[in-house]
Amino acid sequence: MEQPSKQERYYTGMPPPRDPREPLPGEVPPGMKANFIRIGIAIGLLGMGVIIGLSFGAETPVESKKKVADLEAELGRARARIIELNRALTYKSTDETDVNGLLKPVDRKRHESIGRKYAAALRKAKAQPAAELIEWFVRRWNELLDRPQSDDRTGRRAEVLSRLVGGMARNLDPDDYVPWQAEFFNSSWLGELHFDMDGDGFPGKRARPNPKDGFADASVCHVAMALNQAVTDAQILVQPQMRCDSPKAKISIFLQGRTMNDALTEFVRAVKREGFFTQDRKFKGTRMILIGPGRRGI
């Protein structure tokens, strides 16, 4: 399970889990760390040798100068080795991203470019924390698309979207919060949210076959974000009082039905049964579903 990054803790207040056995992006492998430690010890010993030699040696000035020069040369070689190891580590990290990463450079650049413009607009509106949250989200989204897993739509990506929406509730004016969601989910720039990059058919129209996803003890926001990734002609939005990370906001649900539209209907019925506020309408061909805390008092 993933450990929370400092950015995730700062921006969203909801640290995601991480498997401690998995290296973080840019983390130096243990073997490389050991090499650095050994080289550092060697440099330290050489430095001590210089000091001891100068302090207690009985050599002539010429001999002392020669020893100092030899030791300085050895120190130079050790420093060069450290530089070489650092360079090799950088190249190795870059090669792994280029060779094994699945996110196409053109998609990565589009995400980063529009994400920067998005953040700049938020900063112009004096919403600095919201701008930083968008920047974190785009980086994290690219990481997930670059190293995908089979259940990302209902798992990792849904969780990141839930953190984005939950974090924005803390950083935007309540009157701007729902309109921001409608605009964000109705855009066309973000792969696997606004259009299908991997060819699995999601997101697609509401009439496409329902994969019949199931969720156990998951946040309502998490389930909503999984559904938002499944359809292009429907949006599930949450009220600013929803508090996506609250334990009271959790449900267990199996989304049945023949089509994705049936799954959306099952979701609406389930959250109503659990006491949440729901509003289900159509606007210009798009099914708009609004979820709020209702009588549960989240």
Q: Is residue 175 part of a domain?
A: yes
Q: Token pair for residue 259?
A: 């089509």
Altogether, the residues listed in the chain come to a count of 298
Same domain, 232 and 257: yes
Residue 98: pLDDT over 60: no
Residue 55: pLDDT over 90: no
State the residue for tokens 């600095």. Answer: 128
Q: What is the pLDDT of residue 94?
A: 41
Residue where one domain finishes, among candidates 69, 85, 100: 100
Please report, rounded to a whole number, the percentage of residues in the chain having pLDDT higher than 70: 65
Q: Report which secondary-structure segment, H or E, holds 6.
A: helix 6-12
Q: Is residue 40 part of a domain?
A: yes
Residue where one domain finishes, among candidates 81, 100, 119: 100
Cβ burial, residue 187 (10 Å; 0-12/13-18/19+): exposed
Same domain, 164 and 239: yes
Digit-coded pLDDT (tens) for 118-129: 999 999 999 999
Q: Is residue 119 part of a domain?
A: yes
Tell me the β-bridge partners of 231. 204
Q: What is the pLDDT of residue 20?
A: 46
CA 171: distance to chain centroid?
18
Same domain, 276 and 129: yes
Phi, psi of 276, deg, nearest 5? -80, 155
Same domain, 146 and 262: yes
Residue 79: pLDDT over 90: no
Task: Kindly state the average pLDDT of the residues 100-113.
Answer: 94
- The number of distinct structural domains making up the chain is 2
Q: What is the pLDDT of residue 294?
A: 83
Q: Token pair for residue 87?
A: 């360079």
Q: How confident is the model at residue 30 (pLDDT cuts 50, 70, 90)?
A: low
Torsion angle (degrees, nearest 10) of CA 8, 10, 12, 14: 70
Residue 160 to residue 85: CA distance in whole angstroms: 35
Q: Token pair for residue 30?
A: 């243990």
Residue 104: pLDDT over 80: yes
Q: Report which secondary-structure segment, H or E, holds 238.
A: strand 234-238
Digit-coded pLDDT (tens) for 215-268: 999 999 999 999 999 999 999 999 999 999 999 999 999 999 999 999 999 999
Residue 123 to residue 127: CA distance in whole angstroms: 5
Q: How confident is the model at residue 15 (pLDDT cuts 50, 70, 90)?
A: very low
Q: What is the pLDDT of residue 254?
A: 97
Same domain, 85 and 190: no
Same domain, 95 and 113: no
Residue 134 to residue 190: CA distance in whole angstroms: 12
Same domain, 56 and 110: no
Classify residue 174 as left (phi > 0), alpha (psi -120 to 50) or beta: alpha
Q: Is residue 279 part of a domain?
A: yes
If one compares 16 and 282, the residue with the highest pLDDT of the two is 282
Q: What is the pLDDT of residue 91?
A: 43
Residue where one domain finishes, among candidates 100, 117, 132: 100
CA 183: distance to chain centroid?
21
Q: What is the pLDDT of residue 101?
A: 86
Q: What is the pLDDT of residue 248?
A: 92
Instruction: Return the minimum-mean-pLDDT range out of 164-168, 244-248, 291-295.
Output: 291-295
Can you give the residue range of the structural domain that contains 77? 30-100
